[in-house]
Amino acid sequence: MKATQTLSTAMLVGVSIALFASQADAQSARREAAIERCIAQAQAQFHYNMAGGWFLTSSLIITADWTAPSGQQWTVPVGGGFGRVFKFEGQAYNASIAPYYNAVRPDNTATWQLRFQFALLFPK
């Protein structure tokens, strides 16, 4: 496995999720659908390959909860880490670790995140 010193990956992915709840009207049997939560996420990923299978990585998952009170809607992490692609007894692996500081966050949520990834690789 040979890696070059180039920016190997840069991408942005977005998703929006709306969760609906049904509320019964006390005056009638009529039911109305109401939005219980509306969450949007954007994920920006960057990976920089280095010699010896090592790489730098950052995967920022930015979250907005549109139904939360003002000032409590956003979670914006900042950070990154490192990893390595390696072989052990003929099997290829990818392992990485990355701490992220939640620079913007709702009250009573984590200040830091730590992501650890371990994957088995099956190249052709």
- Specify if 114 maps to a domain: yes
CB atoms within 10 A of CB 19: 10
Number of domains in the chain: 1
- Specify if 82 maps to a domain: yes
- Specify if 96 maps to a domain: yes
Per the structure, the complete domain to which residue 117 belongs is given by 7-14+44-121
pLDDT at 25: 46
- Specify if 33 maps to a domain: no
**Which tokens hold the place of 76?**
């914006």
- Specify if 35 maps to a domain: no
How far is Cα 105 from Cα 109, in angstroms, rounded to an integer?
Answer: 7
- Specify if 31 maps to a domain: no
- Specify if 83 maps to a domain: yes
- Specify if 76 maps to a domain: yes
Q: Low-confidence residues of the chain, pLDDT below 50?
A: 3-4, 25-31
3-state secondary structure of 53: helix
pLDDT at 97: 98
pLDDT at 24: 52
CB atoms within 10 A of CB 63: 18
pLDDT at 28: 46
